[in-house]
Amino acid sequence: MGAHITGSGVSLPPAIVTNDDLATIMDTSDEWIAKRSGVRQRHIAAPGVGSAQLGAEAVTAALDNAGIDPSSVDAIVSATMTPDHYAPGNAPLIQDRAGLGSIAAFEIRQQCGGFLYGLDMADMLIATERAETVVVVGAEAHRGYMPYGDSLDILLGTSTAEPTPEDTERANESRAWSVLFGDAGAAMVLQPGTPETGVLGSTLHSDGSLFDLIHVPAPGFVHTYWSTTEQIDAGLHNPQMNGAELFRQAVRLMPDSVRTVLDRTGYSLDDVELIIAHQANQRILDGIAKQLGVAPGIVASNIAMYGNTTAATLPLLFHDCKNDGRVSEDTLLAFTAFGAGAHWGALLYREPATTAAS
């Protein structure tokens, strides 16, 4: 009995940073970013706003959308790669701030694959009757990774100063990855469904031998002292990314997963009306369409508006597709994601009749 998504909600920080804004603090251009990645703008959380706040706001919006009282939620699964604090993670903070009561709060760490894993986990909790109402939330405040120094205030419109040469140099060192990401929270409410609708099947994978394609080397307890100024001076607290190899793996593994889940559930690509894929690069999305031999329009995209919002991406895109009518009664859609770990997979879902858009 596949779980139904009975509500979705998002929280987007109000500050929008365009590619032209970024070009005022580093050597880049709208043309380079848009052509290489498809990103035109991203939301950036203000200083003091963390992913737990964005996540809690998204959970509240999703529960409102589903018409569910917070006291009725049995479990929450929180996915993030940018928690407010290294410990205890975001799950209990979101549980508390969204007023969910002392329910089980799971924290999972699959980065761009996080929401997909969370969705499957919620389906398992419901299928095994361990829970009836589960909230899955993905939320990110990548701002904390952006090595922009005081130039952050210029981007957020709170300073009219000129960037310092030191800040420009640091921003330039990060430009291959920092321009790709954006901040957001997004959540779904999952409840018991029917055999014909809701979650129909899934396939999840991980391969730790690929961990260095994108990882954050420090802080971490493998180091004698888990956090040092030397690590920060060396930039080890920033993501280290092999963009070209990540690109290659993403274009291979997301289509493979979609094919696997279709095989497992007895459907074919001709049945799939929409693919909700992780939004890391428009060229990856185009590559997925090409690999699968489906029309590009089947692979939904909102990367131009938000950039890569890591664990928030899938629910944010689902919410947008629901609101613009691309997900309606009986739509058969495939979720798929690939991200740091590496973790990847796909999940097949048929939209039931009665769920609401906001």
Ligand X SMILES: CC(C)(COP(=O)(O)OP(=O)(O)OC[C@H]1O[C@@H](n2cnc3c(N)ncnc32)[C@H](O)[C@@H]1OP(=O)(O)O)[C@@H](O)C(=O)NCCC(=O)NCCS
Nearest residue (CB) to ligand X, 105 versus 246? 246
240 binds ligand X (CB under 6 A): no
32 binds ligand X (CB under 6 A): yes
Residues near ligand X (CB under 6 A), total: 20
**Residues 105, 134, 261, 280: which binds ligand X (CB under 6 A)?**
280
238 binds ligand X (CB under 6 A): no
Report H helices in the chain. 19-22, 30-37, 51-66, 91-97, 114-127, 151-155, 165-173, 175-178, 229-233, 243-265, 282-292, 303-306, 313-323
> Angle formed by the axes of helices 30-37 and 282-292, to 10°?
20
Dist CA 217 CA 241 (whole Å):
11
Nearest residue (CB) to ligand X, 217 versus 243? 243
Nearest residue (CB) to ligand X, 280 versus 347? 280
The sign one gets for the Cα dihedral 113, 114, 119, 120 is positive
Backbone angles phi, psi at 100, to 5 degrees: -85, -5
**Residues 6, 8, 11, 37: which binds ligand X (CB under 6 A)?**
37
**Residues 16, 18, 36, 169: which binds ligand X (CB under 6 A)?**
36
12 binds ligand X (CB under 6 A): no
The sign one gets for the Cα dihedral 17, 250, 325, 77 is negative
**Residues 247, 260, 298, 326: which binds ligand X (CB under 6 A)?**
247
Looking at the annotation, which residues are catalytic? 112, 278, 308
Q: Which two tokens stand for residue 22?
A: 């970024």
Residues forming beta bridges with residue 191, ordered by sequence position: 4
Smallest gap from Cβ 128 to ligand X, in A, equals 30
311 binds ligand X (CB under 6 A): no
274: exposed, middle or buried (C-beta count within 10 Å: 0-12, 13-18, 19+)?
A: buried
Dist CA 53 CA 47 (whole Å):
12
Nearest residue (CB) to ligand X, 61 versus 241? 241
248 binds ligand X (CB under 6 A): no
Interface residues with ligand X (CB under 6 A) are 28, 32-33, 36-37, 112, 175-176, 179, 214, 243-244, 246-247, 250, 280-281, 308, 339-340
